[in-house]
Structure 1
Amino acid sequence: MSDKKTDRRGLGRGLSALMADVNLNPKEPEAAPRRAEMRVPLERLEPNPDQPRRTFEPEALEELAASIREKGVIQPLIVRKHPSKPDHYEIVAGERRWRASQIAQLHELPVIVRDFSDTEVLEIAIIENIQRAELNPLEEALGYRQLMDRFGHTQERLAEALSKSRSHIANLLRLLQLPDDLQDMLRDGRLTAGHARALLTADDPRGLAAQVVSRGLSVRDVERLAKKPNKNGSKPAEKASTKDADTRALEADLSAATGMKVQIDHRGEGGQISISYKSLDDLDLLCQALSGLR
């Protein structure tokens, strides 16, 4: 437990400061004041071995390489001194540019050297991946979940630092409540994020997901079918519809924060909270989170 607490608090600087270093889309890169940078030969740059992103699409790298041949590397890579090799550097942000530059046959790259801890390097790698436009909704949700679980960031803090709305982050985190096979369908594009959110309220999400694929149902279609009575004649959404808006919002917030389905049954001055977990690992994470509240 002590190691985990140290890891969550050991950033040494705020999330906004880290974001300033890993800003991938400056509005006017040439007009803005440039930070001190240097040029380093490609062979003295090495990728971060703990980089969470393992897949680099060849087509996307070729496109980036073509742009680099024409315009060069406009945005410097963020690096730190290599922990074991003198005169070498470990890439903190910019591995795609490094790989594409090799394809473009560049010999050296502009870099900015920063003094980051191992924890900060991992955090920045996750942030950089979240900012990538090609991430699917599930990958983006997993990135937010990593930042919350590993570094203790709240939805509000992430929303402010990443320039996202809190509802955007909360809605994506809800996707992690889907069964694994439906997450696979979302990952490969057979379901959209809108379909997936509507399926969360369905009595038979797998059967309804199959209809989305076979019949090409719209999100509105799924929302309507999710509210229909099931085979036993009961309405699965009826119980939720009797809850007030504040209770439903609190359920959504707790579900997003835990990554698990949370139901609140409020009666008078009391009631109960039900949390559904899908694996023993989920249960262990929940127990650790609850233990930390004491």
Structure 2
Amino acid sequence: MSDNNRLGRGLGAIFGDDVTNVLEDIQQGKNDNFGGTKTTLKVKDVRTNPYQPRRHFDEEKIRELAESIRTHGLFTPILVRETKKGYELVAGERRLRASKEAGMEDIAAIVVEFDDAQMMEIAIIENVQREDLNVIEEAAGYQSLIERLGLTQDEVAKRVSKSRSHITNLLRLLRLPKSVQEMVSENKLTMGHVRPLVTLEDPKEIERFAQQIYDRKLSVRETEALINNEHTEKVPVKPVDNSQFSYAKSLFEKKLQTRINIDQHKVTIHFEDNDDLNRILELLDIME
């Protein structure tokens, strides 16, 4: 297959289902189908992957790897591509960071040919397959694929081998205030903690709840009860007493991850767009 035919195609068509293993084969010299050329580069000349979704790196593990590189050297080359601005990292950011930490001037590299779309997919899929990303980083990566490559949520799901509902649920986390997203990234709150927060509309209220959850070290179940109870208390007095539906309302919102209103003989399900509606239909198992 010619390089021109490879460029611009989705990674699934090139690599199959497991991007990580193929990248490792290239780095170990077991796969030369992608224009791999071995070389040695100056560490300072390698730019990081602009599409890298990871924002948080374990500094202790970087220091441990740096010590290993000082003692034994770097066993696995990094992958780079050559651009008009110089060499750009494709895979191996921890190795690059550790080499800098170790004070290394040179680094072993393999030069491959990938376009921007493939670079972005590699950065996201490799991390997702290795489960290296927190849920906020993963969501931001999917959003980048949608915005930069013009993909639908369905297409993203197929590219990364995830369900569409998984993609949609994670993308909803990006609607949370940045301060709350940061709490998730720092492992102060879990995905389970913030799921019910997505159903709220007021950013200040979301931030207030998030801080309460963290300060009081609430469990996921306690979080759901807190939010449901406060909202039940705030419902304006109506001729019909809806408090009897509060438990059903909480079950609906937990299952569907959206705002629910229940009146006598009527359940109202709120959705934001067609993708959100499709997500809800899938969760209800009524999508044909």
TM-score band, normalised by the shorter chain? 0.5 to 0.7
SS at match of 2:159: helix
TM-score, normalised to structure 2's length?
Answer: 0.64
Pair 1:239-2:240 in alignment: no
Does the 8 A contact of 1:62 with 1:103 survive in 2?
yes
Kept in 2, the 8 Å contact 1:61–1:100? The answer is yes
Match of 1:73 in 2: 75
Please name the residue that 1:225 is paired with. 226
Give the stretch that moved more between structures: 14-23 or 195-204.
Answer: 14-23
Residue 29 (structure 2) pairs with residue 43 (structure 1): no
State yes or no: 1:187 paired with 2:190: no
Contact 2:41 2:106 in 1 (8 A): yes
Q: Contact 1:15–1:161 (CA<8 Å) still a contact in 2?
A: yes
After TM superposition, the score normalised by the length of structure 1 is 0.63
Contact 1:198 1:226 in 2 (8 A): yes
**Same amino acid, percent of matched pairs:** 39
RMSD over aligned Cα, in angstroms?
4.1
One-letter amino acid of the counterpart of residue 254, structure 1: D
Q: Which runs of 4+ in 1 moved over 6 A?
A: none
Q: What's the offset of the Cα at 1:197?
A: 0.6
Aligned partners of 2:22 and 2:11: how far apart in 1?
18
CA change 1:134–1:183 in 2 (3 A) is same
Q: How many residues align?
A: 240
Distance across 1 between alignment mates of 2:147 and 2:140: 10
Query: Could you say if the C-alpha distance between residues 81 and 26 of structure 1 is closer, same or farther in structure 2, counting changes exceeding 3 Å?
Result: closer
Distance 1:25 1:66 in 2: 26
How far the C-alpha of 1:170 sits from its partner, in A, is: 1.8
- 2:160 aligned residue: 162
Shift of 1:128: 4.3
Matches of 1:109 and 1:230, distance apart in 2: 63
Unpaired runs of 5+ residues, structure 2, are: 1-6, 250-259, 281-288
Gaps (5+ residues) in structure 1? 1-10, 263-294
- The residue type paired with residue 139 of structure 1 is E
**Distance in structure 2 (CA, Å) of the matches to 1:65 and 1:168:** 36
Displacement after TM superposition at 1:20 (Å): 5.8
Alignment correspondent of 2:285: none
Corresponding residue of 1:279: none
Distance 1:133 1:66 in 2: 24
Cα deviations by residue, 1:236-283 (Å, 9 ceiling, x for unpaired): 955169448xx66x65863499xxxx9xxxxxxxxxxxxxxxxxxxxx
